[in-house]
Amino acid sequence: MDKIMPMRCIVAYCGLVCSDCEAYIATQAGDQAALEQVAAKWRGEYHAPDITVESVICDGCLTGPRKCGHCAECHIRACGIERGVANCAHCPEYACDKLQRYFGFAPQMQTVLDGIRAAL
């Protein structure tokens, strides 16, 4: 009998669980229709008419060759790369002012990073 292996959990610098993200999942599945649905959903949610299918294709911001459109401008990601940390939970300055501002509108990301930090 084949065992079903769980997907590897990938946590971005900011605490976003990439492996749970609908854009990441659709990209990994090569599901064009799902990518179109994600782009349409995000255009509405974020009031951003410029979100395209191409801008939601993502292999994760840590190592993947294809990154969501926001990755290029993400200050948290840039800082994590500069510091050479696996994610912000591993940073000696956790949780800095930059993260505190982010957690104000994304508290679930703080929960993820706090959990990782506690396990270190």
**What's the Rg (C-alpha) of the chain?**
15
Residue 115 covered by a domain: no
Residue 89 covered by a domain: yes
Q: What is the pTM of this model?
A: 0.83
For 31-74, give the DSSP string: -HHHHHHHHHHHHHHTT-TT--HHHH--S-TTT-SS--GGGGG-
How many domains in the chain? 1
Summarize the confidence of residues 44-51 as an average pLDDT: 94
pLDDT tens digits for range 53-76 = 999 999 988 877 888 888 888 999
Using the 8-state DSSP alphabet, how is residue 94 labeled?
A: -
Distance (Å, whole) CA 67 – CA 29: 15
pLDDT tens digits for range 9-31 = 899 999 999 999 999 999 999 99
Range of the domain at 105: 18-109
Name the band, by pLDDT with cuts 50, 70 and 90, for residue 39.
very high
